[in-house]
């Protein structure tokens, strides 16, 4: 019989702390071994109780969640799931936490959630179990020179919210990722230059309410013009389209030009947005001119769709195990024979560029 997963709950609100504790304690495989109401106590209890997983609030007295997270990752690293509020500031702080070493996040229980408390309970329990069972690797920060290639306004023509350098391209790039993906995507997008010769479609498993802020973060760290995709968006080279957290992203051809179509409905491969849905649509619309990348993340979403891309003659990459926070979706794709080349996170951007 397997031992229970030991969880430390860190949250300054006594009500939210009880809600999270009750949710986790309702599962027979999980034991909440302790709680903390500030980041300083969290560091002490992490050393004392040696939990398997930590849930961490961000805004707390005495020491906030970001500082506590940094110290835990440096001294006694554990898989940390951030509990984040659905605000612009909350999203920004969450993305910082992911860059500092947190493995994932969920929305904080609140009355304005776009999902029910029951759904949130399922997500939290699932994430704790997946994080515990996965072979997690805390990424070692690799010192790299600043390579953000700034957009060059003198070369572009404004079209709505995007700056467009050329009207069309026969090629397309698609990237799918999950746990460990946000900070990895930022590092890739920093290396993608302005005047990029293809559109880039992105699915990052992330709750609705965070994807718009994350698209802005990618946009600010890249030569690409990145936005949260909207239904009917025209598709242009040099532009990135991030699937919103509550819809699948597809490509359609209408009146002789390609546009984004968002589909709100059931989960596919366990997710909405689904990487499989995106890869499948890219394969149908771009075929051998597709360049697709499957990255760090739990489960197998994307492994089936990227195999279709390869079978139709497109080129496929998988992030390697060494630089993945969780070697899951990419591992399944490699095992399925869906991958042309396995590459380090630090080489993904240049590898994409080499195939365009």
Please report, for the chain, the start and end positions of each structural domain, with discontinuous segments joined by +. Answer: 5-133, 153-354
CA distance 61 to 58: 10
Question: Cis (ω within 30 of 0) for the bond into 273?
Answer: yes
Question: Which residue is listed with tokens 């957290």?
Answer: 245
CB neighbourhood size of 285 (10 A): 16
CA distance 54 to 127: 11
Give CATH for domain 5-133: 3.40.50.2300
- Give per-10-residue mean pLDDT for the chain (356 aa): 88 92 95 97 97 94 94 93 81 89 84 67 89 64 46 39 57 95 94 91 92 94 94 94 97 92 94 97 97 95 98 97 91 97 96 94
CA distance 98 to 128: 16
CA distance 106 to 205: 11
Q: Are 213 and 92 in contact (CB under 8 A)?
A: yes
Name residues whose C-beta falls within 8 Å of residue 188's C-beta, 6 or more positions apart in sequence.
175, 345, 348, 349
Q: Which fold has domain 153-354?
A: Rossmann fold (3.40.50)
Residue 109: its pLDDT value, please? Answer: 73
Active site residues: 178, 205, 301
Residue 70 tokens, joined? 């940094």
Q: Do domains 5-133 and 153-354 have the same CATH topology?
A: yes
Q: Which helix (H) or strand (E) holds 185?
A: helix 181-189
């Amino acid at each position: 019989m397997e031992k229970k997963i030991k969880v430390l709950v860190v949250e300054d609100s006594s009500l939210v702390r009880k809600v999270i504790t009750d949710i986790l304690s309702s599962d027979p495989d999980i034991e909440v071994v302790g709680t903390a109401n500030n980041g300083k106590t969290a560091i002490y209890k992490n050393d004392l109780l040696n939990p398997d997983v930590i849930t961490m609030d961000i805004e707390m007295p005495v020491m906030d969640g970001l500082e506590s997270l940094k110290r835990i990752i440096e001294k006694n690293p554990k898989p940390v799931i951030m509990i984040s509020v659905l605000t612009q500031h909350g999203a920004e702080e969450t993305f910082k936490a992911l860059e500092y070493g947190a493995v994932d996040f969920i929305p904080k229980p609140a009355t304005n959630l776009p999902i029910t408390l029951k759904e949130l309970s399922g997500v939290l329990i699932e994430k704790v179990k997946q994080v515990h069972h996965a072979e997690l690797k805390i990424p070692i920060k690799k010192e790299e020179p600043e390579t953000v290639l700034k957009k060059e306004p003198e070369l572009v023509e404004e079209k709505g919210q995007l700056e467009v350098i050329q009207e069309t391209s026969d090629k397309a790039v698609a990237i799918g990722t999950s746990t460990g993906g946000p900070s990895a995507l930022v590092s890739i997008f920093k290396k993608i230059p302005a005047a990029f010769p293809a559109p880039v479609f992105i699915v990052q498993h992330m709750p609705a309410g965070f994807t718009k802020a994350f698209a802005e973060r990618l946009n600010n760290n890249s030569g690409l013009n990145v936005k949260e995709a909207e239904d009917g968006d025209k598709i242009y080279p040099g532009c990135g389209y991030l699937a919103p957290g509550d819809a699948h992203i597809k490509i359609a051809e209408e009146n002789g030009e390609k546009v984004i179509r968002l589909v709100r409905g059931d989960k596919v491969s366990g997710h909405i947005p689904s990487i499989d849905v995106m890869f499948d649509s890219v394969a149908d619309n771009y075929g051998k001119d597709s360049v697709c990348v499957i990255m760090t993340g739990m489960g197998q979403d994307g492994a089936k769709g990227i195999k279709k891309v390869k079978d139709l003659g497109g080129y496929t990459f998988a992030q390697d195990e060494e630089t993945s926070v969780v070697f899951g979706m990419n591992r399944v794709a490699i095992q399925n024979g869906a991958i042309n080349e396995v590459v380090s996170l630090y080489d993904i951007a240049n590898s994409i560029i080499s195939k365009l």
